[in-house]
A and B are shown apart, each in its own frame.
Chain A
Amino acid sequence: MAKVVIVGGGWSGVAAAITAKKAGAKVTIIERMDILLGLGNVGGIMRNNGRYTAAEECILMGSKELFDITDRASRHVNIDFPGHNHASLYDICKVEPMVRRLLKEFDTEIYFMARGVDVEKKENTITGIRLHNGELVEGDVFIDTTGATGPMGNCTKYGNGCAMCILRCPSFGPRVSITQKSGIEDLVGKRSDGSLGAFSGSCKLNKDSLSEELAAQLNREGVVILPVPPDDINSEKLNIKVCQQYALKEYSENIILLDTGHAKLMAPFYPMEKLRKIKGLENARFEDPYSGGMGNSVRYLAISPRDNRMKVTGGENLFCGGEKSGLFVGHTEAITTGSLAGHNAVRYFKGMPLLELPIALTTGDLIAYENDCRKSEDGIRTRYTFAGADYFKRMKDLGLYTIDREVLRSKIKRMDLLNIFEEKLV
């Protein structure tokens, strides 16, 4: 029986676990923290702009359980905010336990508080992942879904220092790139000014620290837009953040709050003094990162080289997904790439041809497009997401964007990919 070992239990790792399991493998997830979902514990925005199309494509191809959870856990559905339409906002406090239960149902083995620190190899083939405590987790095929955020030395060097984000490096130890440990050099993303990495683009305020009216409005409407005093507008900040889909003028002239359980503030960080000048935020405090007044996590410092079937280039039995696999932003992007990686890991074990998603689907196109673009200097200064920036424009230009499920169904049926991820291979 194929044993697939997944390092990193974020959205991409979890998605890979499910498709690998469906394909018939025995699956182990190694996660350094005490919870799953990684950055998924601090996001929440789904189905905005092209993410809607991508989610539906994934569902039709048979990777539906995680979207089912994020839909069910949504506090608000079909809301609009500047530059974004038909978004859902999942409750970040609800979603992790739901995913955890799902994985239990799928009978996946999960090691918590287990940090992969090295690989054991026989020639070019990985035989096991060495954990921080010396234990060896053996397997047939491996998937690197360790993300690309931090560790704190990188946040210090390329950011404003450790901002105490959800990844909690001081408690659980730093992220380790499995790709790098297997002797394959990672690629590094840049900001538009050429400096390395990028700040995470949003933070969260504790909802109880907002004025009662503001909290009520946020609960009711899902979105609140508060104008920033003219003296405090800082459009420079738009260039430093990951989320180019939110790098719009509206986001520097306004404070945009979204209700994801906490109040998601669409800026990488916000100095406390300035924040508290704004009506309704007089008592505001940060929930994530804890030090959101001074900085945020720095991401995209460790991207695996890969092909369009999510196999790491230069490796033998190593795949990748999520932010580890490209300059991708988003839960939907992580689930898409992770699902493909998990499925292909089992195909690899069986010696079958690996699946490549057609570029006539937005999911396939994003994977291929990012891979092409990252070869150029401009390309590594860009982020790739269905939700906006350049890529959403491309989706519209190529006619890939639709929210019509039936259109997608017949397209995917024509390609013979309906429920492909449901197929048991071994």
Chain B
Amino acid sequence: MDSHIRCIDAGSEYCPCFLSETGDCIVCSHLHGNDFCDCNWCGTCIFNEFYWNGLQMKKSRGSILSRIVDHQFIHRDLILLTLQVPQSMCRALIQPGSYVILRNPEKPSYFDTPISVMEVSEEKSQITVILQEIGAKTKSLLASEKEVLLKGPYWNGIIGLEHLKNLKNKKVLIIARGIAQAPAVPVIKYLHKNKNNIMLILDPGNIQSVFIEKYINLWNLEPIIMDVRSEAGLSHVKNLLQHNEFSLIFSSGSDLLHQDLLQIAKDQEKNIAFSMTNNREICCGEGVCGACSVFAKDGKVLKVCKVQTFVEEILQGGTVHG
């Protein structure tokens, strides 16, 4: 199997998944129709799990009805939702890149909407998300006042997650723009916990709002607020990279932002790690429906709701999202 392809769900309680039964597992060569081991080892043997599970997949994620605890407009079309969820769900949504799939309970499954988890309160057993009202799915979701259907936990909201995982005592640049400020909050929290020195740029973006300051004020970060994709913004970032030794750039925003920043980072030739939010259209989240597919350089289809790989593979591949 290609050594740079990993599965975010590998080794989790949802692994082996549907793909094991159909011979399409992303990691295990046996469960990909081959005769011998050739996996991208993820700390566990998926074939072994499959065998001990009676040659079948584990139970997949189901939907639960989640009570809306809080529902408030924080800016024009931006809505904060706080949802009551089981403890176990709460715990499973702490890591950066976690998201849930939400839907108005009265609507059919094609109204499923992936939404990042911004904050988790384990004590209250609640999660908080920020929703931008745009089209059919988000509008209908907001029409539901008491409850939403919630499917989760999902984890692949960030590509290049491994760069974040082991980073300690390093300097990082985080740039979060528009609605993607929300998924940046758990990243900031995580990197801060690991004693990294964080430089933060917040960009109001299309939503014309900076809304996470309240959630990160514990950590005295002094964010710079600016339009990063403007000429002045990009040269400011360039300047920062020139005069600082960053170990990681985390880009939270659209693919256009990712591309701009990745290019600037590469121009520096300093070998700075790059992680970014996952902007593919996610529908099933299970590697089945194909909504999230991109074509890798070698022509293979990657289902990015599950696959972790080089950021370049994702950005150069399929459709770039603005």
Contacts and interface: CB of A to CB of B under 8 A. Distances in A.
Nearest to A115: B41
Given A157-B30, A170-B44, A150 B51 contact: no
B47 interface: yes
B37 A153 contact: yes
Interface in B1-40: 3, 28-30, 35-40
Interface string A142-165: 000000001111101100011000
A174 B3 contact: no
A153 B39 contact: yes
Contacts of A173: 41
Contacts of A186: 36
A130 B3 CA distance: 10
A175 B39 CA distance: 10
Contacts of B48: 152-153, 156, 161-162
B30 A151 contact: no
Nearest to A302: B36
B3 A118 contact: yes
Contacts of A154: 36-37
Contacts of B37: 150-154, 174-175, 301
A150 B48 CA distance: 12
Interface residues of A, number: 26
Which of A153, A157, A161, A174 neighbours the largest number of chain B CB atoms within 10 Å of its CB? A153
A154 B30 CA distance: 9
Interface string A271-283: 0000000000000
What is the interface residue range for chain B against chain A? 10 to 19
A188 B37 CA distance: 13
A301 B36 contact: yes
A-B pairs with lowest CB-CB distance, top 5: A153-B47, A153-B37, A173-B41, A151-B37, A152-B45
Contact of A162 (B36, B45, B46): B45
A110 interface: no
A304 to B, nearest CB: 14
B130 to A, nearest CB: 35
Contacts of A115: 41
Contact of A170 (B35, B43, B47): B43
Interface string B44-72: 11111001100000000000000000000
Contacts of A368: none
Contacts of B51: 156, 161
A132 B162 CA distance: 13
Nearest to A175: B37
A173 B27 CA distance: 13
Given A157-B47, A170-B45, 8 more contacts: A130-B3, A153-B45, A153-B47, A156-B47, A157-B30, A161-B48, A161-B52, A162-B48
A225 interface: no
Interface of B: 3, 28-30, 35-41, 43-48, 51-52
B43 A153 contact: no
A180 interface: yes
A103 interface: no
B154 to A, nearest CB: 26
A157 B30 CA distance: 9
Contacts of A175: 37
A118 B44 CA distance: 19
B1 to A, nearest CB: 10
Interface string A167-187: 001100111100010000010
Interface string A100-144: 000000000000000101100000000000101000000000000
Contacts of B41: 115, 132, 173-174
A229 B40 CA distance: 46
Nearest to B40: A117
Contacts of A196: 35
B287 to A, nearest CB: 20
Contacts of A162: 45, 48
Nearest to B47: A153
A157 B43 CA distance: 18
Q: Which of B36, B44, B46 has the most CB of A within 10 A?
A: B36
Contacts of B40: 117
A130 B44 CA distance: 21
Contact of B3 (A117, A161, A188, A301): A117
Nearest to A117: B3
Contact of A153 (B3, B28, B52): B28
B45 A169 contact: yes
B247 to A, nearest CB: 15
A117 B6 CA distance: 14
Contacts of B38: 176, 180
A151 B45 contact: yes
Which has the most chain A C-beta neighbours within 10 Å: B37, B41, B45? B37
A161 B55 CA distance: 13
A162 B48 CA distance: 8
5 contacts: A150-B37, A154-B36, A162-B48, A170-B43, A175-B37
B39 A174 contact: yes
**Looking at B40, B41, B51, which has the most chain A CB atoms within 10 Å of its CB?**
B41
A156 B30 CA distance: 10
A156 B230 CA distance: 56
Nearest to B46: A153
Contacts of B46: 153
Contacts of B29: 153
Contacts of B45: 151-153, 156, 162, 169-170, 174
Nearest to A171: B43
A118 B35 CA distance: 19
A280 to B, nearest CB: 34
A34 to B, nearest CB: 16
B311 to A, nearest CB: 14
A301 B38 CA distance: 12
A174 B40 CA distance: 9
Contacts of B43: 170
B34 to A, nearest CB: 10
Contacts of A152: 37, 45, 47-48
Contacts of B39: 151, 153, 174
A71 B35 CA distance: 40
A153 B30 contact: yes
* Max count, chain B CB within 10 A of own CB: residue among A152, A180, A196: A152
A146 to B, nearest CB: 12
Most chain-B CB neighbours within 10 Å: which of A132, A156, A162, A169? A156
B30 to A, nearest CB: 5
A154 B51 CA distance: 12
Contacts of A150: 37
